[in-house]
Structure 1
Amino acid sequence: MDTKALINDVPKQLFVDGAWRDAEGGKTLEVTNPATGEVLARVADASPADGDAALAAAHAAQASWAATTPRERSELLRKAFELLIERTDDFAALMTLEMGKPFAEAKGEVAYGAEYFRWFAEEAVRINGTYLPAPAGGSRLLTMKQPVGPCLMITPWNFPLAMGTRKIGPALAAGCTMVIKPAAETPLTMLALVALLEEVGVPKGVVNVVTTSDSGGVMEPLIRDPRARKLTFTGSTAVGRKLVEQSAEQLLRVSMELGGNAPFMVFEDADVDAAVEGAMAAKMRNIGEACTAANRLYVHESVAAEFGEKFAAKMKAMTVGNGMDEGVTVGPLITGKAVKNVQRLIDGAVAAGATKVCGDEQVPSEGNFVAPTVLTNVPGDDDIVREEIFGPVAAIQTFTDEDDVIARANSTEYGLAAYFFSKDYSRALRVAEKLEYGMVGVNVGVISNPAAPFGGVKASGFGREGGFQGIDEYLETKYVGMAL
C-alpha cells in the first residue's frame, strides 16, 4: 500500500458549511506516527472564530435537515456504511499510521465503526411516538420525537473511527446537525470520514469538522453558546467534569463516556482456557488503550497458578512493533508521555512488592513502545489498581470469596465495564446484578456491540451510545394534548 499517496488524498482543511477551508491565519498542526515519530501531515489548526463559523453553519442547516424524511436520512447512512466497508483497508491504514494499532485490528475497527451507520440507518425509520386516550376522557395525549438540535461532538484518539460513527450515526438518523472536534493526535481518520459523508450527499452545514490543538479555547465558547443544544464527549473523567460544568450554562443535553477501571474476575469453576482468551481480549484490545480494558484481574486462588502461567505465556508471545508490519500484534502507545505514565505504574507496583512475570522483553528503540507486561502479587491499594493503565499491562490479584471480590471490584469511582468467567449461571446473574457497572461481560472479553447500549455509571459518565437507546440521546419528546 502506498501510504504517502493515501495520506495525500485526505483533506487537511476544516470542513465548514459544506466547504473545505483553511484555518484562520493559515495555522496548522502536525500529525505524527507514534511508531516512528515521523510527521505524517499537517492539518488545519482551528481558532475560536473557526469554531464559531462551524456552529453557525450547523445552526443554519438544522431546520432543513430536521425536515428531511427518515427514509432519506436512512439511505444516506446506508450509503456511508457501504462505502466505508468498501474502503476498509484505506481507513484501517490511516488509523494504524496516526494512532498505532496493528493493521489487522484497525480493519476490525472499521467493521465495528461502520456498523453504527448501518444500525442507525435502520433506526432512522423507526422513530415513533405514542397515542393515549386521557384517563378522564375528553382529550387525547400524543407524544412525538423531534431532533434535539445542533450537537457538539468531541471524539478521542484511541478509536478514531468508531467513536465518531457512534455519535454521527444516531445524530444524522435523528435529524441533528453537528460540529465535530476530533483529537489532535488522530485527525486524519475523521477528516477522511467527513469527506466520505460529503461524497454520499450529506447536505452542507449538516456535518462540520474543526481540527485544533486548542480544544478548550475552540470548544468552550461553543458549549456556552445558545445555538448548541447537545454535547457528547468521549474521553477522560477529568475533562468530562469540566465539560459538564461548562454545559450547565445553557443546560445542554449531555452524553459523557468517560474513564474506566474494569475488573476481570475468574471464579474457581471457570473454564480457565476460555478465561485466558477472554482476558487477552479484554486487556489487549487496542494495545490496552481502551476505557473498557481489563485493568484489575482478580483470579480465584485455586486456579491462579494455572491462569497466570497460561496468560503470561500468551502475553510474552505477542509481537511488538510498527502496526503496519505483518505479524505485529502490539503497536506503540499514542505518545511518549503515555509510555512514561505506564512505566511509572509498573515501577511503582514492583517497588510495592509485585512480581513482574514478563515485560522485560526487547522492544523497538524508536517509537512509543511498551512490552506486554504481567504483574502478580499486586498490592490492592497500589496506583496500578486505582488508576487507568491505558497500556499493555495486566495486574493480577487473587481472591477466595465471592462477596469479597465483588466488593473489591466495586471499590472504584468508575463504573464502565466489568468482566467475569464462571460456569455457574446462578452466579452469573447474581454477580452481574451486584456489579456497579453500566456493562458486564459474562464469559466474554469483548462486549462492545452497535446493537447494545454502551455507557457507564458513577465517574464513568452517563447516557448510552448504540442499541435502541442510542438514538434517544439525540431526540426530545414533545407532548401534545388534543381536545375532542
Structure 2
Amino acid sequence: MLVSEVREAELLASVPDKLFIAGKWVAASGGGTLDVQDPSTGKVIRTIADATAEDAQKAMDAAADTQASWAATAPRERSNILRRAFDLLMERADDFALLMTLEMGKPLAESMGEVKYGGEFLRWFSEEAVRIQGRYGSNPEGTGTMIVTQRPVGPCYLITPWNFPLAMATRKIAPALAAGCTVVVKPAALTPLTTLAFVKLLEEAGLPAGVVNVLTTSSSSAVSKPIFADSRLRKLSFTGSTPVGVALLKQAADGVLRTSMELGGNAPFVVFEDADLDAAVDGAMIAKFRNIGQACTAGNRFIVQESVADAFAQKVTERVKAFKVGRGTDDGVTIGPLIDTKAVEKVGALVADAVKRGAKVHTGGSAIAGDGTFFEPTVISEVKPGSDILSEEIFGPVLSIATFKDEADAVRMANATEYGLIGYVYTKDLARGQRMIDAIDTGMMGLNVGVASNAAAPFGGVKQSGLGREGGFEGIHEYLSTKYTLTPAHSG
C-alpha cells in the first residue's frame, strides 16, 4: 500500500461535510445527506449535505448580494487571493491527489498530475486579473471619444463534472473570480469532496464571504431550478454530456444568459503511414488511457492507415497488456476503476456491439468481477462502419482501431461525427499536418502529441461539443461584458 488507512481516514475527516453559503458551512435546510463512495471498493467514504431548492436560493442570494463589492475589489487583490490559493494548493498537493483518488479512482500519479494542471488555472488567472484591458480613442468622424471597458458579467452558476474534480473547478472558478464575478458552484454528486476541500482552501486564502458558494446535491434539477429562475443570474458554465448541456441551454435561454458549454467528444486519433509509429503509440497511451479513458479529450476513434494498422495494433496491445489494474492507492497501478456500474455496463455494451459486427479483440474486452467497478484495458481492431463505438463516447479504457486508405478517407472518417472537441494527428509530413489542422473540424488539435490541454491555451470545441472557451487569454473574457461609451469631442 502506498497510503495507510489511517491517513485516508484522517484526510476524509478533514473535508467539510456541509454546504458553503455566504461564507459559512451550513447543513442542508432539509437535513438531508448523500453518500460518496470509493469506486474501487464500493464503500461509502464520506456522508455530506444534500442541498435543496431552499439552499440554492440562499446561495444565489449570497452571490448576488456580494457581486457589487467583489466587482469593486481591486484587481490586484483578486489576483493575490488566487495566487495564495495556488501556493496553498501546491503545499497540499499530496492531500488533494489522494482525495481525488479516493473519490474518483484514478491512480495517485494521475491525481498528482491533475493537481498541477488544476493549479495552473489559479496561477494563470491570478496573472490575467490585472490585465483586463479596454480602449480609448477618437471615433472616425472626430465628433466624439469612444471609451470601451470590460466589466464582470455578474453572478455565475458553475456546474462541474465528476471526472476531473479539481481541474474542472479551478478552470471555472479562477477566471470568474479574476473577472470580478461571484459564483454558485455545483459539483457532481459522485465526486464532490475535492470541491469542498478546495473551497475551504479558498476561504483560507482570504476569499471574502459570499463570493464562492457551494451546493452538493443528489438532485441537480431541483437545485438548479430556483437559480435559473433568478433574474440576477447572468452566466452559466457547464461541463458534461451534450444532452444535459442542450437541456441547460434551453433553460438559460429564458434568462438570456451568457453560456460556456464544454460538452461531449468523439476525438479522432489519425495515424498516417509515415508517422513515427513509436511516438504515435506513446501518444495513444496518453490520449486513450489517461484518467482511465474517462475524459472528453480521450482518443475515441483510432483511425490508422491500412499499411501500418497491424503494426500499430501489435505495439499498443503490448503496452496495454503491461498495465496494472487496481485501486489507485496501490503501488504500480496504472488503471483504476470506472466511476460506477453504469459506466462499466456502457463500455461493455460498446465492445460487444463492435465484436458482433466483426471487430477483433487483441486484449481485454470484459468487466472484471469482484469489488469495485473495473473494466479490463482493451484493444480491438478491424472496427466496422456502423459500430456504436465509432459514434458514441466510450469513456473507458478501450482503444478501438479502424483503418483508412488515403488522406481524403482519413478526413472523411475523422469528421464523421456531430462532435468537434479535439483531434489528434501523427505524421512526419508538415504540409500534411497543416492540411489536417485546416480540414479536421475540431476546436483543438494535437499534432504529433497525445495531450494538448494547458491553462494558457483556449479549451473548447465546435458543433455538438460546445460553446465558448476555458483557459488562455480567451478564458477570462467568458466572464466579462463589453461596455461602450461615447463622449463629445473636446473643443480646442
Instruction: Provide the TM-score with structure 2 as the length reference.
Output: 0.97
Deviation (angstroms), 1:9 = 0.4
- Is 1:135 the counterpart of 2:144? The answer is no
2:247 is matched with: 242
Deviation (angstroms), 1:221 = 2.3
- The code of the aligned residue for 2:150 comes to K
- The whole-number CA distance in structure 2 between the counterparts of 1:127 and 1:291 is 30
- Is 1:222 the counterpart of 2:227? The answer is yes
Structure 1 SS opposite 2:283 = helix
- The whole-number CA distance in structure 1 between the counterparts of 2:370 and 2:453 is 34
- Is 1:403 the counterpart of 2:408? The answer is yes
Of 317, 329, 338, the match for 1:333? 338
- The whole-number CA distance in structure 1 between the counterparts of 2:101 and 2:449 is 26
Of 463, 470, 475, the match for 1:470? 475
Structure 1 SS opposite 2:145 = strand
Per mean C-alpha deviation after superposition, the further-off stretch among 332-341 and 360-369 is: 360-369
Aligned length: 484
2:270 and 2:424 in contact (8 A); partners too: yes
- Is 1:380 the counterpart of 2:398? The answer is no
Structure 2 SS opposite 1:302 = helix
The 1:122–1:280 alpha-carbon spacing in structure 2 relative to 1, beyond 3 Å, is: same
Structure 2 SS opposite 1:110 = helix
Percent identical among aligned pairs is 58
1:232 is matched with: 237
1:8 is matched with: 13
1:155 and 1:182 in contact (8 A); partners too: yes
Q: How does 1:448-463 map to 2 (within 5 A)?
A: 448-463=453-468
- The whole-number CA distance in structure 1 between the counterparts of 2:459 and 2:393 is 19
1:441 is matched with: 446
- The whole-number CA distance in structure 2 between the counterparts of 1:218 and 1:250 is 17
1:187 is matched with: 192
1:201 is matched with: 206
CA offset digits 1:451-475 (Å, max 9, x no partner): 0000000000010000000000000
- The whole-number CA distance in structure 2 between the counterparts of 1:262 and 1:24 is 42
CA offset digits 1:294-343 (Å, max 9, x no partner): 00001111111211100111111100000010100000000011101100
CA offset digits 1:251-271 (Å, max 9, x no partner): 000000000000000001100
- The whole-number CA distance in structure 2 between the counterparts of 1:305 and 1:220 is 52
1:321 and 1:363 in contact (8 A); partners too: no
- The whole-number CA distance in structure 2 between the counterparts of 1:261 and 1:193 is 30
- The whole-number CA distance in structure 1 between the counterparts of 2:448 and 2:186 is 36
1:370 and 1:392 in contact (8 A); partners too: yes
| Greater than 4 Å deviation, 4+ residue runs | 360-364
Structure 1 SS opposite 2:472 = coil
CA offset digits 1:17-73 (Å, max 9, x no partner): 000000012100000000001100101000000000000000000000000111000
Deviation (angstroms), 1:364 = 6.0
Per mean C-alpha deviation after superposition, the further-off stretch among 358-367 and 202-211 is: 358-367
Q: How does 1:274-293 map to 2 (within 5 A)?
A: 274-293=279-298
- The code of the aligned residue for 1:166 comes to R
Deviation (angstroms), 1:224 = 2.6
Deviation (angstroms), 1:132 = 2.2
- Is 1:20 the counterpart of 2:25? The answer is yes
1:43 is matched with: 48
Of 92, 96, 114, the match for 1:87? 92
- Is 1:342 the counterpart of 2:341? The answer is no
Of 97, 115, 118, the match for 2:123? 118
- The whole-number CA distance in structure 1 between the counterparts of 2:400 and 2:386 is 12
Structure 1 SS opposite 2:473 = coil
Structure 2 SS opposite 1:91 = helix
2:304 and 2:402 in contact (8 A); partners too: yes
Deviation (angstroms), 1:362 = 8.7
Structure 2 SS opposite 1:184 = coil
- The whole-number CA distance in structure 2 between the counterparts of 1:151 and 1:283 is 33
Of 296, 299, 303, the match for 2:301? 296
CA offset digits 1:375-430 (Å, max 9, x no partner): 11101210011100000001101111101110111010000010010011111111
Structure 1 SS opposite 2:380 = strand
Of 348, 370, 377, the match for 2:375? 370
1:418 is matched with: 423
- The code of the aligned residue for 1:472 comes to H
Instruction: Provide the TM-score with structure 1 as the length reference.
Output: 0.99
Deviation (angstroms), 1:223 = 1.6
2:264 and 2:393 in contact (8 A); partners too: yes
Structure 2 SS opposite 1:89 = helix
- The whole-number CA distance in structure 1 between the counterparts of 2:290 and 2:185 is 25
1:299 and 1:399 in contact (8 A); partners too: yes
1:453 and 1:468 in contact (8 A); partners too: yes
1:320 and 1:363 in contact (8 A); partners too: no
- The whole-number CA distance in structure 1 between the counterparts of 2:124 and 2:92 is 19
2:79 and 2:127 in contact (8 A); partners too: yes
- The unaligned stretches of length 5 or more in structure 2 are none
- The whole-number CA distance in structure 2 between the counterparts of 1:361 and 1:432 is 36
- The whole-number CA distance in structure 2 between the counterparts of 1:99 and 1:26 is 25
- The code of the aligned residue for 2:167 comes to A
1:157 is matched with: 162
- The whole-number CA distance in structure 2 between the counterparts of 1:224 and 1:167 is 22
1:391 is matched with: 396
- The whole-number CA distance in structure 1 between the counterparts of 2:434 and 2:390 is 26
